[in-house]
Amino acid sequence: MSSFLIHPLTLRLVSVVIAFGTWEYLGRIPISPAFPTFLETMSALWGMLMDGSMISVYPATFQPLLIGLIISSILGIACGVFMGLNHKAEWFGAPVFIVLQSAPLAALIPLLTFAYGIGLTSKIITVCIMSMPVIVLNAYTAVRHTPTSMIEMGESYLGSRRQIIMKIIIPAASPIIYAGLRLGAAMGFIGAILAELLITPTGIGDLITYNQSIAEYDKMYAAIFSIMVFAVLFIEILERTEYIFFRPDKRVTQ
């Protein structure tokens, strides 16, 4: 019985129940007329899923999001790994990304609209500038922290530079690279929604602003809830791919 109570799955379920229960309670007080209860939100979500109004808007959100995330993952990991391996690249690149990471990027969006218009390009760039710095900086730190003895091992067994990078440095760095990817993906979701709220209302961002403007708060929260669910699922899948491709040892009980 006690092992059932401390089972990870039980604990996760309990945490979810507490969060949603609190939401329901606060909604029922109510703390604000603009704050629907959990159950109202869920029924609105169900309604929107059934009448297709939610599913039809997602492609518009996912297009810039996925393109942006793919670009920032590939480019970001490449930049980060290169900066980790090469001191000149580090001196050149690290300050740029450190500044980008701490800058209020939402403030740059009007500038992007000015330069690239209100189309897809601006939205993709928004996703990229949100997600890339953390991916780059994590990849760079990870590569920099490869254990010295493991690199010496590769050298003493006559590994070429390429073999040492591909067979030792990248797998050794993969947990931190993946931590960066997960954070980057979360930032990318924020970027995609931000772009839809600030550039042109399309996709899920449109659903949020529209329902807010007509005071259908349950639908507005349902839209927000749905994007959060997607973000969590996406990040979970990302974690699985790490175990499959780079760290089979983590699938074995720790």
Partner 1 sequence: MSAAAETVSDNAQQIAVEVDNVTKIYPGGVEALNDMTIHFPKGELTSLLGPSGCGKTTLLKIIAGLLKPTAGKVKVNGVDVTGPGKERAFVFQDFALMPWASVIRNAAFGLELQGMNKSEREAIAEKYIDIVGLKGYENLYPHELSGGMRQRVGLARALAVNAEVLLMDEPFSAVDEQTRRKFQEDILEVVDDEQKTFIFVTHSIEEAVYVSQSIALLLPRPSRVSEIIRPDIRRDISPDAIRRDPVYLDIVERIWQGLRTYVE
- Residues engaged in binding partner 1 (CB under 8 A): 147, 149-150, 152-160, 163, 167-168, 171-172, 174, 246-249, 252, 254
> Who contacts 73 (Cβ-Cβ below 8 Å, separation ≥6)?
135, 181, 184
Contact status, residue 53 vs residue 210, Cβ threshold 8 Å: no
Taking the complex as a whole, the smallest distance from the CB of residue 249 to partner 1 amounts, in Å, to: 4
Nearer to partner 1, 100 or 150 (CB): 150
Shortest distance (Å) from residue 159 CB to partner 1: 4
Locus of tokens 């669910």: 229
* Cβ atoms < 10 Å from Cβ of 5: 9
Our CB check for partner 1 shows the closer of 131 and 146 to be 146
Comparison of 56 and 160: residue with beta carbon closer to partner 1: 160
Taking the least distance from each CB to partner 1, the nearer of 46 and 245 is: 245
CB of 202 to partner 1, least distance (A): 42
Of the candidates 237, 238, 225, 227, which has an alpha carbon nearest to the alpha carbon of residue 65?
Answer: 227
Q: Minimal distance in Å, beta carbon 72 to partner 1? A: 25
Is residue 122 within 8 Å of 195, Cβ to Cβ? yes
Q: Rounded distance, CA 138 to CA 173, Å?
A: 9
Our CB check for partner 1 shows the closer of 181 and 220 to be: 181
Length of the chain: 254
Least distance to partner 1, CB of residue 243, Å: 10
HSE value, Cβ hemisphere, 13 Å, CA-based, for 128: 17
CB-count burial class (<10 Å; 0-12, 13-18, 19+) for 189: buried
Closer to partner 1 by CB, 10 or 163: give it. Answer: 163
The distance of closest approach from Cβ of residue 157 to partner 1 in the complex, given in angstroms and rounded to an integer, is 4
